[in-house]
Amino acid sequence: MRLLVVEDDKDINRQLVTALEHAGYAVDKAFDGEDGHFLGDTEPYDAVVLDIGLPKKDGVTVLEEWRKAGRTMPVLILTARDRWSDKVQGFDAGADDYVAKPFHMEEVLARLRALLRRATGHATNELTCGPIVLDTKASRVVVDGNAVKLTSHEYRLLAYLMHHVGRVVSRTELVEHLYDQDFDRDSNTIEVFVGRLRKKLGVDMIQTIRGLGYLMADPAADAGAAPKPAR
């Protein structure tokens, strides 16, 4: 999953990016409203952490412009603790949730997990597909009760597919959502990661849909149901 952090305080920005990357996300960052708006308007993020008080363009304006342009990614706004009006403005502009400063990093991570779950139709931190269980809180993968050690990129790939079980996901979409903007993106590496995942998981749950992409199929779902198309 790929996230964007827009925060002008360099220390807070760094702390957020470090924590999110450690939690298994690909993260881009911006330090002012203009750069943040551009990235959010041109890149397909799964969620955004957006400070309200930004230089060059304030966070409320950035969010309003995203929503007017049809950008629907979940947005978690950061507000000053004593500015309840910021919260109201943020929600009216299209925010999905907020955290007040100063904040505990675990709360930010938990709220982002909740936003990502709701955006993809999941109710808990544990995503299950057949014998595979992925715990988004612990960044842990288990198959038939046995822990499986994955690299960061393998984990991101599996997490994205499991967030979208039953839908064909194209290579292009995977590249856009698994790598930050500074990564040397090559769709051919997706095949390599899929191959490694299949070997490490030891179960044939990731299907290759020729010419379209990949499908994480849920064996518990109706076998006669057609997979959702790729985007």
Confidence check: pLDDT of 81 > 80: no
In the prediction, which pLDDT does 67 show? 95
Q: What is the pLDDT of residues 130-158, one digit of tens each?
A: 899 999 988 899 999 999 999 988 999 99
Please state, in angstroms and rounded to a whole number, the distance separating the CA atoms of residues 40 and 4.
Answer: 8
pLDDT at 98 exceeding the cut of 90: yes
Looking at residue 10, its pLDDT comes to 96
Q: Name the residue ranges covered by the structural domains of the chain.
A: 2-119, 126-216
**Radius of gyration over every alpha carbon of the chain, rounded to an integer in angstroms:** 18
Domain topology for 126-216? Arc Repressor Mutant, subunit A (1.10.10)
Q: Average the pLDDT over each of 96-100, 183-187, 198-202, 216-220 and give the range with the smallest value.
A: 183-187
Report the 10 Å Cβ neighbour count for 22. 12
Phi, psi of 215 (to 5 degrees): -135, 125
Give the model confidence (pLDDT) of 23-67 as tens digits.
989 999 999 999 999 999 999 999 999 999 999 999 999 999 999
Q: Which CATH class is domain 2-119?
A: alpha beta
CB 209 within 8 A of CB 168: yes
Rounded to whole angstroms, the Cα distance separating 71 from 35 reads 16
For 195-217, the pLDDT digits (tens) are 999 999 988 889 999 889 999 88
